[in-house]
């Protein structure tokens, strides 16, 4: 993957189109929310606009508004399901900032006091676990 990745070779576009699997929490006409495959913490989810834009500077205003509204709804669901001490909202722009998938996405990561901080997990999560988390978050999402 590089910073010139287009929609045809984009893993998130493949997920949005249903060509690649993901554990979805929520979807509407503008956005989709699914579990991060390499979670930095249990409950780590991504809010992704359906329209491909590489980073913050390539996303339509209406999509940014939808993402920001969704972050409140997802934040409430994360609180209800995981009862975290805090929730980190992260969004990386450019490889130099740590971005690895060049289709805009907002990370929402439950945090517990005293735990080391990170955006990227080391291990691929178990699918059954992610499916269970996505289902619980979907139920709590409002
Ligand atoms: P970035 O580093 O670009 O801000 O974050 C990309 C995120 O996407 C990472 O946290 C990574 O674990 C996640 N990710 C990469 N590939 C996949 C995938 O195929 N499916 C899902 N659900 N998450 C992915
Ligand atoms: Zn894409």
Ligand 1, atom 10, lies closest to the CA of 120
Alpha carbon dihedral 20, 95, 122, 73, in 10-degree steps, equals: -60
The enclosing domain of 28 has a CATH number of: 3.30.428.10
Q: Residue 2 falls within a domain, yes or no? A: no
Q: Residue 1 falls within a domain, yes or no? A: no
Residues 28-50: pLDDT tens digits? 999 999 999 999 999 999 999 99
Q: Residue 17 falls within a domain, yes or no? A: yes
The residues, ordered by sequence, that sit 6+ positions from 5 with a Cβ below 8 Å of its Cβ are 54, 102, 103
Ligand 1, atom 18, lies closest to the CA of 37
Residues 92-132: pLDDT tens digits? 999 999 999 999 999 999 999 999 888 999 999 999 999 99
Q: Residue 79 falls within a domain, yes or no? A: yes
Structural domain containing residue 130:
7-140
What does the angle CA 48 – CA 52 – CA 57 come to, to the nearest 5 degrees? 85
105 is catalytic: yes
Helix axes 127-140, 61-82, angle to 10 degrees: 100
Q: Residue 55 falls within a domain, yes or no? A: yes
Q: Residue 93 falls within a domain, yes or no? A: yes
pTM for this predicted structure: 0.96
Active-site residue among 41, 103, 105, 107?
105
Q: What is the mean pLDDT of residues 47-75?
A: 98
Q: Residue 129 falls within a domain, yes or no? A: yes
Domain total of the chain: 1
């Amino acid at each position: 993957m590089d910073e010139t990745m287009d929609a045809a070779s984009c893993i998130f576009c493949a997920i949005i189109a249903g060509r690649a699997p993901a554990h979805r929490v929520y979807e509407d006409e503008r956005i989709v929310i699914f579990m991060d495959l390499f979670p930095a913490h249990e409950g780590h989810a991504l809010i992704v606009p359906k329209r491909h834009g590489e980073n913050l500077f390539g996303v339509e205003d209406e999509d940014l508004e939808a993402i920001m509204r969704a972050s409140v709804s997802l934040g409430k669901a994360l609180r209800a399901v995981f009862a975290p001490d805090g929730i980190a909202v992260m969004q990386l722009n450019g490889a130099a900032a740590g971005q690895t998938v060049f289709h805009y996405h907002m990370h929402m990561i439950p945090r517990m006091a005293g735990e080391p901080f990170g955006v990227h997990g080391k291990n691929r999560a178990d699918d059954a676990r992610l499916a269970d988390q996505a289902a619980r978050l979907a139920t709590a999402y409002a």
